[in-house]
Structure 1
Amino acid sequence: MKYGLILMLTLLLTACSPEPQRHIRLLGGDWSTARAMTELARQELEQAGFAVSVETVAPGQVWSKLATGEADASLLVWLPDSSRHHAERFFDKLHDLGPNGPVLKLGLAVPVSAPLSRISDLNDSDYADHKVIGMMPGHGSQVLTEQALARYRLDHYQLLSGTGEAYTHLADSAIAQQLPVVIAAWSPGNIMLNPQLKWLQDDKEYFPATERAHTLVRRGLEDSAPKAMEVLGNIRLNETELTQLLQLLAQEEKLTVAVNKWRAGRQQSGVNPPAS
């Protein structure tokens, strides 16, 4: 009788236990670093046995979608400065798994032939027809560049905005045609892989020096998919690794193939994959 009661209780507890979550919903973006890191996370999660779907969203949507449980994780968010207003509103509803990449260098870039060396040089200049090529609204680079331009009193310069694809196309086209151009840039990033560009010195140090991409997950994922939390938390690339990944992405047409090559190269070099 005693053993029968124990068996019955065990069966009841098993029946009431929720099924472990096997599908992870990632939020991605349409710029190169976002695509590369999201694809890396997808492959690592699938290797760990999860089914993964990816939704491409605007940067500002990441916080609200994770906070309301519409998605599980994202590797896109820059902290601490560019996302400060989102963090104040949503941070206590999410888990921050920490940085997944290196500290970013942020600033303005111009062709190496440009007769400028400092951002302050733009104050008395009509270089690039008073325009700066930027990213979409809400992207970390766009937010911080807008703030820096205001502090440099470059109100006569217009910060253009558009999709990640438009940003890359405009920058690459201007460089290829040897046109004067000012670009809101960050490194490691695909634009600054171009040797025909140089940084303008941030002579007043108005761009933050501690910005990094972080991995955020929804509250509750630690209970429904603890292994996924572990996999995501272990994805941490240094500057060299991220640069190499972006270089492969620039050379290889297919994103999946580029990330696979990077992972294979990392394993062959004797470095454990990030999520192992």
Structure 2
Amino acid sequence: MKHRLLLMLALLLSACSPAEQQHIRLLSGDWDSARITTELARLELEQAGFAVTVEQVAPGKIWSALAAGEADASLAAWLPDSSRHHAERFFDKLHDLGPNGPVLKLGLAVPASAALGRISELAGSDYGGHKVVGMMPGHGSLVLTEQALARYHLDEYQLLSGSGEAYRHLVNTAIEQQLPVVIAAWSPSRVMLHPQLKWLKDDQGHFAAGERAHTLVRRGLEDSAPRAMEVLGSIRLTEDELTALLRQVAAEPDLTLAVNRWRAEQTEAEPVQ
């Protein structure tokens, strides 16, 4: 009888204990580095036994959705400067697992054939029709470019915003047709793999330094899916690794295939223990 009571008690306790979460919801942006790191996370989580869904959302939505518990994690948030206003509202409701990629270079880029060499030389010129090609509103590069343009007193320049696909299309069209264009750029990025582009020197140092993509997760995931937290926290790409992935994706339109090829290459390159 005593053993039967102990067994019943154990069954009741196990029934009351929450089962480990098996489904992970990831939020991504639609720019290449975000898509790549999110796909890498998806594949690693699935290998660890989780079911994973990925949703592409606007940068600001990442913060609010995670804070509200509407998703579990994102590898696409930039910190510390471009997301400062979101961090002030939501940071204490999230866990920051740290950077998942290298320090980003931010600035303005132009065709390599352009006579311009410095950002300050844009002042008083009409290069690019007083337009700067940028990413979607809220994206880190657009936020920081807008701030830098104001500090350079380039008030006549208008920032054009659009999706990641529109951004790449405008840049590629300008390069193919040899048009004068100013680009709100960051690196590593697929756009800045173009040898036909060059950076304008940030001669007054107005662009933020130290910006990196971070992995954010909702509060409570450490209890409901600790193994997922471990997998997400382990994703940390060097500049060379992210650049290699970007080249792989540029050559292979199937994102899953491209990232899996890179993963296979990393496995083959690992030394035998």
Q: TM-score range by the shorter chain?
A: over 0.9
Change over 3 Å in CA distance of 1:271–1:167 after alignment to 2: farther
Structure 2: segments with no counterpart, 5+ residues: none
Q: Which 10-residue stretch deviates more, 26-35 or 256-265?
A: 26-35
Structure 1: segments with no counterpart, 5+ residues: none
TM-score, normalization by structure 2: 0.98
User: Counterpart in 2 of 1:79?
Assistant: 79
In structure 2, what residue type is equivalent to 1:158? Answer: Q
User: Counterpart in 1 of 2:124?
Assistant: 124
In structure 1, what residue type is equivalent to 2:182? Answer: V
Does 2:143 correspond to 1:143?
yes
Task: Report the CA distance between 1:34 and its aligned residue.
Answer: 1.2
User: Counterpart in 1 of 2:25?
Assistant: 25
**2:162 is paired with a residue of what secondary structure?**
coil
**2:244 is paired with a residue of what secondary structure?**
helix
How many corresponding residue pairs? 272
Does 2:50 correspond to 1:50?
yes
CA distance in 2, matches of 1:203, 1:270: 42
In structure 2, what residue type is equivalent to 1:111? Answer: P
**2:123 is paired with a residue of what secondary structure?**
helix
CA distance in 2, matches of 1:58, 1:120: 31
Q: Which 10-residue stretch deviates more, 43-52 or 11-20?
A: 11-20
**1:124 is paired with a residue of what secondary structure?**
coil
In structure 2, what residue type is equivalent to 1:226? Answer: P
Does 2:179 correspond to 1:190?
no
Task: Report the CA distance between 1:271 and its aligned residue.
Answer: 6.8
Q: Which 10-residue stretch deviates more, 239-248 or 23-32?
A: 23-32
The correspondence of residues 241-260 of structure 1 with structure 2, limited to 5 A, is 241-260=241-260
In structure 2, what residue type is equivalent to 1:215? Answer: T
CA distance in 2, matches of 1:223, 1:72: 12
Task: Report the CA distance between 1:176 and its aligned residue.
Answer: 0.8
User: Counterpart in 2 of 1:10?
Assistant: 10
Identity across matched positions, percent: 74
Does 2:106 correspond to 1:106?
yes
TM-score, normalization by structure 1: 0.97
The correspondence of residues 172-251 of structure 1 with structure 2, limited to 5 A, is 172-251=172-251
**2:250 is paired with a residue of what secondary structure?**
helix
User: Counterpart in 1 of 2:88?
Assistant: 88
Task: Report the CA distance between 1:124 and its aligned residue.
Answer: 2.1
**1:39 is paired with a residue of what secondary structure?**
helix
User: Counterpart in 2 of 1:133?
Assistant: 133
Deviations 1:195-250 (A, max 9, x none): 00000000111111100000000000000000000000000000000000000000
CA distance in 1, matches of 2:198, 2:271: 32
